[in-house]
Amino acid sequence: MAVKTADVVSAEDDRVPTGTVIPEPFVDGDAQLTPRILRPKVVGSDRMFRGIIRASGIAVLVIMGAVGLFLTFRAWQALSVAGLTFLTTQGWNPDAGRGGFGIAAVLVGTILIGFTAILIAVPLATGTALYISEYSPRRIQRGLISLVDLMAAVPSVVYGLWGFFFLQGQITGLSRWIATWFGWIPIFSVDGADPSDPLSGTSPTLYTSSTFICGIVVALMVTPITCSVMREVFSQAPPGEREGAYALGATKWGMIRSVVLPFGKGGMIGGTMLGLGRALGETIAVFMIISFIPAIQSHILQSGGSSVSSLIALRYGDSTAFGTSALMAAGLALFIMTLIVNFIASSIVARSRSGAGTEA
Amino acid sequence: MSLETIDVTDPGAVIDVTDHESARRGEAAPESVGSQQTYVVSPVPTGARPQRRRSTSNFRRTDVLAIAGSVIAAIALAGLLDELLPWNGALGFVVVAYVSFLGIYAIVVSFDESGPAVRDRSIAVVVQSLAFLLLMALVFVIAYTLIRGWQALVHSNFFVQDMQDAGPLDPLDVGGIFHAVIGTLWMISIALLITVPLGLTCAVFLNEIPGRFTRFVRTIVEAMTALPSIIAGLFVYATFILMLGMPKSGLAAALAISVMMLPIIIRAADVVLRLVPSSLKEASYAMGAGQWRTVWHVTLPTARSGLATAVILGTARGIGETSPVLLTAGFTAALNANPLSGPMVSLPLETFELVKSPEPNLIARGFGCAAVLMLLVLILFVAARMIGGRGPGNLTKRQRQKRVRQSKRDVERFDARVAAETGRSLKRRVDNPEPVSGHTAYPPTGGTHVANEN
């Protein structure tokens, strides 16, 4: 489509204009000047390719959707029987019908384990991430990053072994100490331990298999994930602002506090939430350590506790069809919880200034 | 020396440059005076102390002394408190010593530094000790498993026998975990067979066909990465085993692992594919390649190392999962090489079942099994680091040399074709760097990527 002004400068014209060329005004309604409709011509092989990848996208959607829908559908059976008592009942006896089973105890147990883990994991992860990105010598930086990433890939059963065979024996002293001195805080109190009587509560079995020990083990499992998200964000803090802070006379910590931490805030929260999501869903390490009791155990130092995933691992085999449906309902509750936590995490990471490139 | 006595206009003035202030002044003086004369300043005046190079490192001897002194004082204080108030074991001693170290160090630093510097030093100590604590704990978790498992690992039968003939009380030179190794290999192979083609094509789909439907699929996949692994197991248990009436088998376990791995692989691959520079793809389209050719010849090769890393890290996660296997695979002590029928056991599940027993020999086997599993993960991880670890388009030195050779061959081929068609020899074009530079432009681009790597 030749625009008229093009002729003025075309090579065929030997009168090369020296002045400014003023294009002719656009005439409305000129059929010649309506924009062309561009339509890519999709050839056969491309059409097949698009069909194949679209089919795989649909297949993945169907599989993933089937998991979610099936879970909801099967859970519905149990939920429609239990109604709201599902959220308030502590025991787990699905065959007793309405009121016989509920997730009050396991949900509280799961949340307590998750929060204990996060309270331990966040300072450790922040410190390590800051060390790797700010303090460590260049030579060992890459090695440390690899080490932390490797730890995120270590199977949970290995952490469970360590927690069960090593930590359990070593940590009871600390548990007893906390229970003795901070027992007046309800969450740290232990039935049978009396601060005024030094002989009471000395039996270590009071303190083994507790929520606290599970929390420590799960904390070690989620710290690498949290740490690597945080480190990634810290290392992206703009060098110009860092140098600006130094130029204004900041110490290293002053620079970190005024540049690195504000910049990495979104990544820190996002990494923490990702860790929390992993901690809530963790099964085998918790299942190995905790001694399951189907009641709300709010004393985290005391032996016994519960979590949704250990309930499923414990009871899946001996369930009737309705029992499986009840377990599905518990699983659905856990899934919804981790889903919410993960969505909050990804939206915080995505919205923050530090979000770029922090997909975990 | 006093600065006021120096008369810089006097040629005979002796300026002692060992003093930093006056040295600067001495150098600046001739210009500031504006005189045409130049003055030669003796760098080391006779009689003065020899000039010493200033250390520019921020690591001073007083810092080391302050830390060493604080450590000694803290240990002594903790020892004293230990005598007065008995603590519970080593942990209490370490905690008390550490806290008193922090306090003493802050006091020592505050003798010759101001407030912000004291805070800076104290926090540096806290950060470094947190990192040390975590890394030690993580290394210890691995080392503990290896040490406890060593007993079982030294017996060669541990790797080639199953547990069929080994009772709980049998010594470690009978029986092994061969059946679990085979089980793990079967399960992960089937899972990879499902997840790699499906996961990678789905990731390509998410990147190649934008639209509302794609966004929906991406949201669902991201939601599914939150799926706790036990629920993947429960799903397969309820559908495959209870509804379809299939027995527990290696295939069921592989399906459960696939459900868990699929979103992880898709998400990681999606991120990697998104990083492929669009200029490369656009260049390919501009040369007339279709979408399929662009994906196959440009997008996928560019992202190859990242995709390999995504798959390998997904594999490492899948291999180590216990809970989906616990629900779907059943348990057996015998070797079962058929994933379609009969119970099958994997390494993490075998570990879990072995350490449930109170028998020390079985526990040792359990640790050995965990050690083997961990070595497997370690190998996968190192492989991922060797293949991946570079961004899309970054090449190794050998790959870059290969590209250069390839593009030289291409130039010759093009020239030969042009020569054949036109009957003119274009030999000179190869020697003339200008037209060739278009072909060799790519390797230097790779070079800049490598330079950016750190």
Please identify among residues 81-100 of chain A the ones whose CB lies closer than 8 Å to any CB of chain B.
Answer: none
Decide which of B366, B387, B408 is a domain's last residue: B387
Mutation for testing the A interface, residue in B63, B292, B453 having most A CBs under 10 Å: B292
Q: Quote the pLDDT of residue A317.
A: 75
- The answer, for B237 touching chain A at a CB cutoff of 8 Å, is yes
Residue of A nearest to B324 (CA): A313
**Helix orientation angle between A211-234 and A104-130, rounded to the nearest 10 degrees:** 40
Asked whether residue B441 falls in the same domain as residue B340, the answer is no
How far apart are alpha carbons B185 and B181 in whole angstroms? 6
Distance between first and last Cα of chain A? 50
Asked whether residue B368 falls in the same domain as residue B235, the answer is yes
Q: Is residue B154 part of a domain?
A: no
Distance between first and last Cα of chain B? 48
Mapped onto helix, strand or coil, the DSSP state of residue A108 is helix
- The answer, for A150 touching chain B at a CB cutoff of 8 Å, is yes
- The answer, for A59 touching chain B at a CB cutoff of 8 Å, is yes
Note whether B333 and B313 are within 8 A (CB): no
Mutation for testing the A interface, residue in B113, B122, B135, B230 having most A CBs under 10 Å: B230
Domain count, chain B: 4
How far apart are alpha carbons B370 and B372 in whole angstroms? 5
Token pair, residue B325, equals 């296997």
Please identify among residues 217-236 of chain A the ones whose CB lies closer than 8 Å to any CB of chain B.
Answer: 220, 223-224, 227
Q: What does the longest C-alpha to C-alpha distance in chain A come to? A: 111
Note whether A238 and A302 are within 8 A (CB): no
**Contact criterion met (CB < 8 Å) for A288 and B271:** no
Asked whether residue B84 falls in the same domain as residue B108, the answer is yes
- In DSSP terms, A305 is beta-bridged to A292
Which among A70, A149, A224 has CB closest to B239? Answer: A70
Q: Is residue B167 part of a domain?
A: no
Asked whether residue B370 falls in the same domain as residue B402, the answer is no
3-state SS, chain B, equals: CCHHHCCCCCCCCCCCCCCHHHHHHHHHHHHHHCCCCCCCCCCCCCCCCCCCCCCCCCCCHHHHHHHHHHHHHHHHHHHHHHHHCCCCHHHHHHHHHHHHHHHHHHHHHHHHCCHHHHHHHHHHHHHHHHHHHHHHHHHHHHHHHHHHHHHHHCCCHHHHCCCCCCCCCCCCCCCCCHHHHHHHHHHHHHHHHHHHHHHHHHHHHHHHCCCHHHHHHHHHHHHHCCCCHHHHHHHHHHHHHHHCCCCCCHHHHHHHHHHHHHHHHHHHHHHHHHCCCHHHHHHHHHCCCCHHHHHHHHHHHHCHHHHHHHHHHHHHHHHHCCHHHHHHCCCCCCCCCCCCCCCCCCHHHHHHHHHCCCCHHHHHHHHHHHHHHHHHHHHHHHHHHHHCCCCCCCCCHHHHHHHHHHHHHHHHHHHHHHHHHHCCCCHHHHHCHHHHHHHHCHHHHHHHHHHHCC
Q: Is residue B207 part of a domain?
A: yes
Tell me which residue of B359, B367, B371 sits closest to B166, measured CA to CA.
B359
Distances (CA, A) of B54 to A169, B48, B211: 53, 17, 63
Q: What is the CATH number of the domain that holds B259?
A: 1.10.3720.10
Tell me which residue of B246, B266, B232 sits closest to A70, measured CA to CA.
B232
Tell me which residue of A173, A172, A174, A210 sits closest to A291, measured CA to CA.
A210
Lowest-pLDDT choice from A149-158, A306-315, B162-171, B224-233? B162-171
- The answer, for A166 touching chain B at a CB cutoff of 8 Å, is yes
pLDDT tier at A7, thresholds 50, 70, 90: very low
- The answer, for B24 touching chain A at a CB cutoff of 8 Å, is no
How far apart are alpha carbons B182 and B128 in whole angstroms? 43
The DSSP 8-state label assigned to residue A95 in this structure reads G
Per-10-residue mean pLDDT for chain B, 454 residues long?
44 46 45 51 61 74 83 84 68 81 86 83 88 88 87 80 74 79 88 91 89 87 84 86 82 90 88 84 88 88 81 84 85 77 84 83 86 87 73 70 89 87 61 44 39 36
Decide which of B12, B31, B54 is a domain's last residue: B54
Note whether A213 and A163 are within 8 A (CB): yes
pLDDT tier at A199, thresholds 50, 70, 90: low
- The answer, for A135 touching chain B at a CB cutoff of 8 Å, is yes
Asked whether residue B216 falls in the same domain as residue B243, the answer is yes
| A104-355 CATH | 1.10.3720.10
Asked whether residue B332 falls in the same domain as residue B409, the answer is no
Mapped onto helix, strand or coil, the DSSP state of residue A235 is coil
**What percent of chain A is modeled with pLDDT above 90?**
7
How far apart are alpha carbons A227 and B361 in whole angstroms? 37
How far apart are alpha carbons B176 and B165 in whole angstroms? 10
Q: Is residue B94 part of a domain?
A: yes
How far apart are alpha carbons A85 and A93 in whole angstroms? 13
Note whether A355 and A264 are within 8 A (CB): no
Residues in A closer than 8 angstroms to B219, CB to CB, are: none
Please identify among residues 60-119 of chain B the ones whose CB lies closer than 8 Å to any CB of chain A.
Answer: 88-89, 91-92, 116-117, 119
pLDDT tier at A38, thresholds 50, 70, 90: confident
User: Could you identify the residue written with the tokens 């090369």?
Assistant: A16
Q: Is the pLDDT of residue A192 over 80?
A: no
Q: Which residues touch A176 (CB under 8 Å, ≥6 apart)?
A: A193, A201, A202, A204, A207, B88
Mapped onto helix, strand or coil, the DSSP state of residue A15 is coil
Q: Quote the pLDDT of residue B76.
A: 84
User: Could you identify the residue written with the tokens 């009436």?
Assistant: B245
The pTM of this model reads 0.75
Give one DSSP letter per residue of A125-154, joined into a string: HHHHHHIIIIIS-HHHHHHHHHHHHHHHHS
- The answer, for A51 touching chain B at a CB cutoff of 8 Å, is no
Q: How many residues does chain B have?
A: 454
Asked whether residue B69 falls in the same domain as residue B86, the answer is yes
Q: Quote the pLDDT of residue B82.
A: 74
CB atoms near residue B24 (< 10 Å): 11
Tell me which residue of B140, B175, B136 sits closest to B157, measured CA to CA.
B175
Asked whether residue B253 falls in the same domain as residue B327, the answer is yes
Question: Would you list the domain boundaries of chain A?
Answer: 44-96, 104-355
Decide which of B149, B167, B195 is a domain's last residue: B149
Q: Tell whether the torsion through CA atoms of B426, B443, B269 and A239 is positive or negative.
A: negative
**Contact criterion met (CB < 8 Å) for B119 and A346:** no
Note whether A219 and A120 are within 8 A (CB): yes
Asked whether residue B247 falls in the same domain as residue B345, the answer is yes
Token pair, residue A300, equals 């985290």
Q: Which domain holds residue B408?
A: 397-452
Q: Which residues touch B208 (CB under 8 Å, ≥6 apart)?
A: A50, A53, B291, B295
Asked whether residue B117 falls in the same domain as residue B259, the answer is no
Q: How many residues does chain A have?
A: 360
**Contact criterion met (CB < 8 Å) for B292 and A312:** no
Note whether B220 and B200 are within 8 A (CB): no
Asked whether residue B218 falls in the same domain as residue B353, the answer is yes
